């Protein structure tokens, strides 16, 4: 059984325990996954991006804790303080669909936590930069050659005529382009796909959703997506 591995840890504690993964629905649609790790050294919240690949339930095994730190967020008019653990690897030994008794807590999507700290560059900065490189008033704008333009238009019309596709062909083409953008180096997809969990939560979720729609199923013991027969 191969372990999941993420960033290399400088100081790692390996413990035996259980990781309870819950599926949290969002008001705007969709859902996200969070985990609670129970070990002999304590209980910790887990917000690793790769949890979005897993089905909700309780997983037992050995877990590599890379970092433990206090964290907090505001939700529903309350400040929630929790101890979080970052897992750098884990080897799963068992799975139970039952998540047991779950306290009624308020969870915030980790993506929302990450985006709330992003600094946006003002648009005015970009506009000013564009004005700085504007041509002087004395410079004449290039004049398009009528014959060249007509020739280009004729060629474009010819290409468009050759490129006419049926509705079904256009749908397939658009899906292929979307999959290329979504999966990058993993496209075209094989019978098994092992995702790079460091690409970011948003892209990883998009990849997971697309794989599910294509009939793939995540095999937790091997951390790979397998195409259903």
133 is a domain residue: no
166 shares its domain with 216? yes
pLDDT digits (tens, 9 = 90+) for 103-147: 656 788 888 887 765 443 334 333 344 445 445 455 555 555 555
The DSSP code for 176 is H
The predicted pLDDT at position 104 comes to: 54
Q: What is the percent of the chain with per-residue pLDDT over 90, rounded to a whole number? A: 48
pLDDT digits (tens, 9 = 90+) for 53-88: 999 999 999 999 999 999 988 887 888 899 999 999
Q: How many CB atoms lie within 10 A of CB 215?
A: 10
Using alpha carbons only, give the angle 64, 65, 68 rounded to the nearest 5 degrees. Answer: 175
Instruction: Give dist(CA 227, CA 191) in Å, integer.
Output: 5
Count of structural domains within the chain: 2
120-134, 184-198, 212-226, range with the lowest pLDDT: 120-134
Helix (H, G, I), strand (E, B) or coil at 165: coil
pLDDT, mean of residues 220-225: 92
31 shares its domain with 92? yes
Q: Is the pLDDT of residue 8 over 50?
A: no
105 shares its domain with 164? no
What range does the domain containing 161 cover? 146-227
Q: Determine contact, residues 88/8, Cβ cutoff 8 Å.
A: yes
The DSSP code for 2 is P
pLDDT digits (tens, 9 = 90+) for 151-176: 555 555 545 545 687 888 888 889 99
Residue 88: which CATH number? 2.40.50
Q: How confident is the model at residue 27 (pLDDT cuts 50, 70, 90)?
A: confident
């Amino acid at each position: 059984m191969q372990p999941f591995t993420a960033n290399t840890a400088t100081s790692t504690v390996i413990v035996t325990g259980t990781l309870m993964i819950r599926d949290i629905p969002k008001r705007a649609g969709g859902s996200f996954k969070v985990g609670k790790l129970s070990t002999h050294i304590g209980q910790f919240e887990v917000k690793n991006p790769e949890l979005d690949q897993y089905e909700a339930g309780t997983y037992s095994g050995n877990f590599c804790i890379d970092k433990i730190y206090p964290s907090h967020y505001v939700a529903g008019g309350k400040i929630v303080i929790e101890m979080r653990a970052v897992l750098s690897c884990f080897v799963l030994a068992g799975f139970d669909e039952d998540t047991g008794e779950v306290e009624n807590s308020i969870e915030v999507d980790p993506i929302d936590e990450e985006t709330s700290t992003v600094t946006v560059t003002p648009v005015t900065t970009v506009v000013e930069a564009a004005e700085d490189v504007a041509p002087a008033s004395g410079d004449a704008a290039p004049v398009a050659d009528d014959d060249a333009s007509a020739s280009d238009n004729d060629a474009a019309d010819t290409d468009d005529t050759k490129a006419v596709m049926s509705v079904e062909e256009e749908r397939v083409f658009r899906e292929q382009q979307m999959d290329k953008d979504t999966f990058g180096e993993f496209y075209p997809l094989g019978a098994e796909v092992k995702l790079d969990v460091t690409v970011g939560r948003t892209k990883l979720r998009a990849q997971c959703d697309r794989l599910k729609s294509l009939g793939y199923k995540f095999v937790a013991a091997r951390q790979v997506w397998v195409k259903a027969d």
